[in-house]
Structure 1
Amino acid sequence: MKYLTDKKTKELKIRLKWNIFEKLKEISILEEKSFNYIVNELLDKILNKNLKTNNIQQFFTEKTNLVFDKENIKLYHNDFIKVDFSKYKGKINLIITSPPYNLSIDYGKHNDNLDYEDYLYFTKSWLEKSYQLLADDGRICVNIPLDKNKNGLKPIYADFVEVAKEVGFKYQSTIVWNEQNISRRTAWGSWLSASAPYVIAPVEMIVVMYKNQWKRLKKGESSIERDEFIEWTNGVWTFPGESKKRIGHPAPFPIELPKRCIKLFSYKDDLILDPFVGSGTTLISAYQEGRKAIGVEIDENYVNLSIKRLQEIPKNSYLFSV
């Protein structure tokens, strides 16, 4: 039997309807939890639900700053967590993004060196905002590392999935992206010894989750080819990463990544969102694949980089494969 152990408790006399009392007693027996524990658990859920509803308002306070609007592609120079995207609530079909990894990368305006608990809080905040914006059958594809060993080993992928589930997302699958990037590390932990060796996998993960329903409510027009579908539904994707120097961003992902997610998980004319635009790759791919897209970027330098790259796309280039 599980009991309350928190010292910060108060004893109160309350009146319960007889049928409610009997139900609670029944749940207490089935769950093997004390009556007091069950009552507190239920009240916590109610209070947290109301608190969450009130806190959602903080995610829609910053006035939008639209800096690029062309051919169904919109780019906003804003903080995603704060920007007022009320008009997009329940309308996003697919989110594709690669959030900051908290690896002390110089992203400019974003602090990429948070305490891990603060990083998880940041993760929960942008996921809660994303959840509000997705349609009921909306999906999300997030490119994150499997783990990190800088400043202490942390299971980023595992923690991300747990946080996303807490927010309300439902898990669908995970794609392993094999970048073929063989590590040049010189630290193996205990060299040639079982004392404390370090194992590092040179892969990244693409977590695929959804809001309420995985199957799309309305059928649209797909753009994926037969051979692409067969290859990409295999959960290990092998293609090289992108050059930081060529793009001008410290952590760009290759256009192949959003292209595959867009063609596999969305219909033509769907609305795509990237909350952390960076160098603009998701927006470029969305345009090339005939989708609508909106993106948000907090750093002015990367906003300008994205605009430059978007302006260089040939008109109607979505008719051709990348």
Structure 2
Amino acid sequence: MFDFNKSYVGDSDKILEEMTKSGLKFDLILTDPPYNLNKDFGNDSDSLSKEEFLFINEDRIKKCRDLLSPHGSLIWFGIHKYIGYLQVMMYESGLFYRQMNIWHYENGFSRSKKNPATQYEPFLWFSKSNKKWTYNADDVRVPYKSTERLKSPVYYKDRHGNRRVWEPNPNGALRGDIWSYPTLSGKAFEKERTSHPTQKPESLITEIIKAFCPKNIDGKYEGTILDPFHGSGTVGVCCEKLNKEGNLIKWIGIELEDKWVNIANERIEKLKV
């Protein structure tokens, strides 16, 4: 039996199997698994051979597929070195490709002068169904690059030759597939940043939740979300912050190391004050 809105300590590969047997389903699986870049998470999960890394992730993708609700989505962060392999695995698992998105940032730093500096990380979006899925386009609109287009309507002709008017949405333009949010580097983010080596910014994760979490008839986010690689708990923190605004998100995080679960719980406890 699994309770929602908490982090579980353990091996996600085993816990995902237990969740499947228990009949759990999730509307959104949003996760940032190890990239296999030799990061120190307190174990060797990020230091595998290429063959082992691909084998393990193929199995993980299938387990996530089996936990998705009929109209659920899988959002999976990766690195350019392996993202092509993971995309093919998702196709072959029977999931349906929706889009590859890019998390773009300009405040990272270069680890080598032999290659261009890294300024992005891709994340894949696949759905369980090829007919119905959740994407709340109006919830994640972005500011127009120019305010000039807000001043007057634009006229055009439709396919039948009729004159129509297009007026800009006051809430901004539709989001594209480039999601620009700074990394958690520098003094500006010292209050949010933990010691976790690959922590994602709350601003980015919150926006992804708003985009892909189902909503109820009252317009509140009301879905189930799973992060099998919860790290320092950013997905849970973002869900809880949204719930404090009146939303009804149920979430579960899984993390192998006690250290990170403790940090995640500390972050979430601070929200209750």
> Is the structural similarity TM-score above 0.5?
yes
How far apart in 2 are the matches of 1:222 and 1:266? 11
User: Given that residues 222 and 263 in structure 1 are in contact (C-alpha distance below 8 angstroms), is that contact kept between their aligned partners in structure 2?
Assistant: no
**If you compute each CA radius of gyration, which structure gives the higher value, 1 or 2?**
1
- How many residues matched? 228
Query: Share of identical aligned residues, percent?
Result: 27
User: Given that residues 105 and 120 in structure 2 are in contact (C-alpha distance below 8 angstroms), is that contact kept between their aligned partners in structure 1?
Assistant: yes
Matches within 5 A, 1:253-264: 253-264=200-211
Deviation at 1:163, TM superposition (A): 1.4
The corresponding residue for 1:163 is 89
Please give the per-residue CA displacement for 1:194-223, whole angstroms capped at 9, x wherever unaligned: xxxx45642111211111235249x9x999
Indicate which of 42, 46, 51 corresponds to 1:117. Answer: 51
The corresponding residue for 2:181 is 239
- Partner SS, residue 301 of structure 1: helix
RMSD over aligned Cα atoms: 2.8
How far apart in 2 are the matches of 1:314 and 1:224? 26
User: Given that residues 88 and 133 in structure 1 are in contact (C-alpha distance below 8 angstroms), is that contact kept between their aligned partners in structure 2?
Assistant: no
Please give the per-residue CA displacement for 1:172-194, whole angstroms capped at 9, x wherever unaligned: 00111111145434432xxxxxx
Q: Unmatched 5+ residue regions in structure 2?
A: 144-170, 215-220
More helix by share: 1
Letter in 1 for 2:96: K
Q: Pick closer, same or farther for the CA change 1:89–1:168 going to 2, 3 Å.
A: farther
**Structure 2 residue 133 is matched with structure 1 residue 210:** no
How far apart in 2 are the matches of 1:271 and 1:224? 18
Please give the per-residue CA displacement for 1:8-28, whole angstroms capped at 9, x wherever unaligned: xxxxxxxxxxxxxxxxxxxxx
The corresponding residue for 1:271 is 224
Letter in 2 for 1:294: I
The corresponding residue for 2:29 is 95
**Structure 2 residue 71 is matched with structure 1 residue 137:** yes
The corresponding residue for 1:176 is 102
Which structure is higher in RCO with an 8 Å CA cutoff and minimum separation 6? 2
Indicate which of 123, 139, 151 corresponds to 1:224. Answer: 139
Q: Tell me the TM-score normalised to structure 2 length.
A: 0.74
**Structure 2 residue 261 is matched with structure 1 residue 303:** yes
**Structure 2 residue 215 is matched with structure 1 residue 283:** no
Deviation at 1:281, TM superposition (A): 0.2
